[in-house]
Every structure is written in C-alpha cells, then in structure tokens.
Chain A
Amino acid sequence: MRAEFAQAMLALFQKRSNLVFITGDVGYMALEAVAETYAERFINSGVAEQNAVSLAAGLAREGHLPWVYGHAPFVVMRPYEQIRNDVCLHRLPVKLVGNGGGYGFGIMGATHHALEDIGAMRALPNMRIYVPLTAADINQVIDMMAEDPLPNYLRLNTSAPIPGVLPAFAPWRRIKRGRRCLVIGMGPVLGNLYELGDQELLDEIEMWSLGMFPIEDMPADLIASIREKRCVVTIEEHYGTCGLGEALSHLFLTHGVFPQSFISLHAAGYPTGRYGSQRWHQEESGLAGQALRSRLEKVIRG
C-alpha cells in the first residue's frame, strides 16, 4: 500500500495547501516524488520520533495538517506519550501513518513488527484509526483522514488479494455473503481466506471487514447475520489483547447480540522464537495457509 499512499499524498497536495509531510528518515524508493512536490512542506525529521510527533502537534496548532510517516512500530510505540499528551489530549489533527503493520516487515524481526499498534492507539482519547483492506482503499482513506478533525492513525500493510470490486471504504463493509459462518476481519489478513483455494469452504463464509476504530455503530445487516449464523470468527494480524476480537466481544454484549460461538484468530507473537516472512509468521499464528484452513474447517464443519 506504500506506493498507493505516496500517490494519494501527491493527489491530496493538489487539493489542500496546509499539508506538511514529516518522515522519520524512512521512505527510500517511495517518497521521492512526495519530497519534491511538497518541497518546504516535506520534513525529514531524522531518526527522532518523539520530536517528530511534538513538532506535528505544534504545526497543527498553527493551522497545518501534518502527516507523520514511519515504520508502524516506531510511529506508535516510541513517541506514545507525545501522541497522548501533545496530540490526543489537545485534539489536534495530526495524521500518523505506520507502514508495515502487523508482521509487515517480516524477516526484519520482532522489533520491526507492530502487533499491538491498534490496541495502543485505541486506548488514546480522541484518536480515530483507519485500517484499509486493499490498496484500492487508500485514496479514499487519505481523503477521509484529511477531512477528519481528530488525530488519526493509519495502518498500512500489504494489500489483500480479494477478487472483484469491493464496496467503497467504510467503517463496516460486507465483502461477501455465505451460508454458515461469519468471519470479521481487520485489515488485509482477511484476504488470506481467498488464498486457501477452497471454494466450498468459502461458500460457507459471510465476510465482513472492519476498517475504523472506535466502532461507532453496528449495521443491522451484521446483527441479523450474527443471529442467523452458527458462529463468528474474528481475524486480525494483531495480538488478541486490545485487538479486534476483544473490541467486538464488548460491542456484541453492549448491543445484546450473542453469537452461538465466538472465536478470535490473532497473532501469537513468536511462539517458536524463530523468524521468517510476513506469510511465515501469519501461518505460525494460524492466520494463513493450512493452519488457517484447519481452524476454519473445525469451526464450520465441526
């Protein structure tokens, strides 16, 4: 999604005059055109994320719309207090963009992964989070963020390989209909279901995508489906703690919606202490490949 993000930022520059793009010294072979176009409004603030976020807060207070770009773990975790104090408490429209959410940086290892970024951002006041599903979402998401008066966090990841034309980006989207089970996903990991190559299994699954936090409502169609289907499965490339599954279980309870069964598929971290590609880590966590297929078969076919 990184290339699409850069393109979207170039397009946004034609529409708004108050943008400032701050990178924490990353974006090689991705941000060159952004740097050229934004000119004095492009700041490489160096390897210093705390300063970058407070700078952005100061810029926002002076009427600018700052975007702070970096690797997801570094944009979220290193400057967490600056995000809370300087940005969120003051309700300033600072736009944080984390590239490589989840296991996105694969073989780079654990320090480069972001398995708790959504949870960390969800805990903050006034923060709105955007999690696109495919690269086709990016343009629309960037426009929404530019209009959003709140602090935002955008989690970029590898685009999901979902066939066909999807509904436009929205907090809730029904991606496909299915007979027996509901799978609700956050981000591109949902697309891993299409890669299982099991059309029969796929036909059993109704698929929804959640793209924003906090979750402000629940579509009536979704509630009806939960009541009708045999089970609800959530899938996320994020730790279970403070993630999608926990958020939805709370949402269901407060809406009086009680699925017959509820299973959370989420990142397991590093259970064997070994490292690999993004896909390898997803498989180790049961979020892709045969492990995912087995878990879904067990839930759906009993």
Chain B
Amino acid sequence: MRRDETTVEYVKLEEHVFSVKKRFLAMYKKANAGHVGCSLSCAEILVLLKFAWMRDDDTFVLSKGHAAAALYSLLAEADVLTPSQIDSYYEDGTQLPALPPVNAIREIPFATGSLGHGLSLCAGMALGAILNRQDRRFFCVTSDGELDEGSVWEAALFVAHHKLTNVVWLIDRNHIQGIGRTEEVMALEPLDAKLRAFGFHAVTADGHDFVSLLAARDECTRVLGGQDMPVAIIAETLKGHGIRYMQDTVDSHYLPMDDAQYEQALEELTDAHGAALRGYRNAG
C-alpha cells in the first residue's frame, strides 16, 4: 500500500473511532451508566476488526460483555443498529441492555458478560465452520481481568491443540480489573510468554494506535496463513483512554459521567481526534 493510501486508511479508522466513542459517550450519559472506561479501552480494537479486518461472513464475540455500549455503537457505525435502537439503550423494554442480549441481533451471536466464555464459543464456531468446509474467521476480544477465569485457559489449550487458525484472540490489556490493578490482584505477567507457552503466536500492540494495530493485524494474517499456529494479540490499552479524569483508573469501570465530566470528555475526545488526524497527515 502506498503511503498516501495508508494515511487514508488511518484517517478513515480514526474517523470511525471518533464517531463510535462520541456515540457511546452519549449513550452512557443518557443512561447515567457506568463501564465507560471499559468501552474507551477497546474502541480502537473494535473499529480495527469491523472496518479493517473482518469480512462480511466473519463473526465477532465480545467476551468482555461489559463493554457492550462500544459494541452497540460499533454496530450502529456499520448501520446494523438503527438510531432508535441506540436511543433505547438501558431503557425498559430495550433489546440493548448493559451487557449483550440473547438471540436479538444477528451480529451478536452470543450473550456475554459472564467472563471466560467467548474464546470457547469462538473455538466451537470455528470448528463448526471447518467441519462445514467454510473459510470463515472468528474474532474474540477478552479483557485482561477475564484471564483469571480458568475456562479461558481451557479454551486456549483447545485452540492451540487443534491449530484453529480461523480464530483470532485479542486481549484488551488495560491492566485494571474489578477493583484493582491486575498485577496487584492476580498477576498476569509475563503474559506474552504465557501465551507462547500455550502454543500461540503472541503479538503485542499499542491498542490505541492504528499504525501498531494494523501492523499486528498484518503479522497475524501472515502467521495464520501458515496454518499451524493460532494467534493472540495483546493490545496494550488504558482504561478510560483519552479522557484525563478517567484514564487508567478503577473508577472509570463503574462511575457514570456528570454533566461537566461529559462536556470535558467530549472536548478532550475532539481535541485528541484532531491531533491524531494531524499526526497521520504530517506523517503521510
């Protein structure tokens, strides 16, 4: 890809991220809901998958279901969900509860939220596609606190043993879990070495930077083409990324935004978006 084409790609992805974040911030504000930080940490990962990696017949499972608002916003960005559906988020009678719903939206194959299910579900669907002789891929985003669940490692053993190269596992590594920092609650490091020991080709990327994420994508695509090793991307992220008062805090997992905080969040988001575009254009 030529450099100016690459710049166009980055700019397109940044525009999507800006739009997705603005939408879910508005959703959280209207609902007076928490989990804002969880969605901010994985927004770029979701946009990467939907707009720069997945094909139409690929499937995505958000195993960290508590970031459902980011997923709903992403699906609205892709014209899968309508504005009125988005408007119903958190309302009584909605199809869009705080965590993903059961059998309501085709693009959400499984209701998640209880952690540690997504990778197994993807493994099952991936195996199903192989048995059906279909060339389809299954993308799973887990959190890092989720890796405390033993079932994640059951799934990891399975994916590696069966060399499921139609599964892509992305870990939103924001270093914060329920009520503390991962390394203080239940240390995960060295995570890349753990994944390698389980039989994965592990790639570490900056989960908020599309140069890094697209490079990780390309490396994974190359490895998966070899058909003998599954891949996992450790996306280094910050919970509450981009909003100073939230960034890298446990609070951003739980607390809704008051009016002033919401205004501040929008302002910082807009500034950061402008800066990101200028950066790409200057680089291009």
Q: Within residues 95 to 151 of chain A, which ones have a CB less than 8 A from any CB in chain B?
A: none
Residues on B with beta carbons closer than 8 Å to the beta carbon of A85: 110-111, 114, 117
Instruction: Give chain A residues whose Cβ lies under 8 Å from the Cβ of B124.
Output: 54-62, 66
Query: Contact at A59–B157, with CB atoms within 8 Å?
Result: no
A residues contacting B by CB (< 8 A) are 20, 40-41, 43, 45-46, 48, 50-51, 54-64, 66, 81-82, 85-86, 89-91
Interchain residue pairs with CB less than 8 A apart (7) = A46-B157, A48-B154, A51-B155, A51-B158, A54-B151, A54-B155, A61-B128
Residues of A within 8 A of B158 (CB): 45-46, 48, 51, 55
Q: Assuming A41-B131, A81-B114, A86-B110, is B157 touching A58 (CB within 8 A)? A: no
Contact B127 A55 (CB under 8 A): yes
- Least distance between A108 CB and chain B CB atoms (Å): 23
In the complex, are the beta carbons of A89 and B155 less than 8 A apart? Answer: no
Interface residues of B, dominant DSSP: helix
Contact with A along B127-164 (1 / 0, CB 8 A): 11101100000000000000000110011011001000
Please indicate the chain A residues that have their CB under 8 angstroms from the CB of B122 in the complex: 58
Residue of A nearest to B116 (CB): A50
Separation of A20 and B127 alpha carbons in the complex (Å): 10
5 A-B pairs closest in CB distance: A58-B124, A62-B128, A54-B120, A51-B154, A55-B124
A8–B120 alpha-carbon span in the complex (Å): 28
Interface of A is mostly: helix
Shortest Cβ distance from residue B95 to the other chain A in the assembled complex, whole angstroms: 15
Closest-CB distance, A197 to chain B (whole angstroms): 49
Q: Is the CB of B131 within 8 A of A20?
A: yes
A89 to B122, CA, bound (A): 17
Q: Write the chain B residue with the least CB distance to A58.
A: B124
Q: Is B238 located at the chain interface by the 8 A CB criterion? A: no
Determine which of A46, A51, A64, A89 lies in contact with B120 in the assembled complex, contact meaning CB atoms within 8 Å. A51
Complex Cα spacing A61 to B117, Å: 15
How far apart are the CA atoms of A6 and B60 in the complex, in Å? 36
CB distance from A79 to the nearest CB of B (A): 8
Task: For residue B119, give the distance in angstroms from its CB to the closest CB of chain A.
Answer: 8
Checking A46, A58, A89 against B127 with a beta-carbon cut-off of 8 angstroms, the contacting residue is A58
| Most B C-beta atoms less than 10 A away, residue of A41, A61, A91 | A61
Binary contact track B98-112/A, C-beta < 8 Å → 1, others 0: 000011000001110
Determine whether the beta carbon of B132 is less than 8 Å from that of A58.
no
Q: Which residue of B lies closest to A88 (CB)?
A: B102
A56–chain B nearest beta-carbon distance, Å? 6
B71 neighbours in A (Cβ, 8 Å): none
Q: Select one of B109, B114, B131 contacting A61, CB under 8 A.
A: B109
Chain B positions within 8 Å of A61 at CB level: 109-110, 121, 124-125, 128
CB within 8 A of A89: which of B102, B126, B132?
B102
Q: Which of B109, B128, B158 has the most CB of A within 10 A?
A: B128
Task: Report chain A residues within 8 Å CB of B128.
Answer: 20, 58-64
Structural contact, A48 and B121, CB atoms closer than 8 A: no
Is B131 within 8 A of A51, CB to CB? no
B123 at the binding interface (Cβ < 8 Å): yes
Q: Nearest residue in A to B124 (C-beta to C-beta)?
A: A58
Shortest CB-to-CB span from A27 to chain B, Å, is: 18
A50 and B154 contacting across the interface, CB-CB below 8 Å:
yes
Residues of A within 8 A of B155 (CB): 51, 54
A40 to B151, CA, bound (A): 24
In the bound assembly, the distance between CA atoms of A51 and B123 in angstroms comes to 9
Q: Are the C-beta atoms of B120 and A55 separated by less than 8 Å?
A: yes
The reply to whether A48 and B131 form a contact with Cβ atoms under 8 Å apart is: no
Nearest residue in B to A89 (C-beta to C-beta)?
Answer: B102
Q: In the complex, which residues of chain B have a beta carbon less than 8 angstroms from the beta carbon of A41?
A: 131
Name which of A43, A45, A54, A86 has the most chain B CB atoms within 10 A of its CB: A54
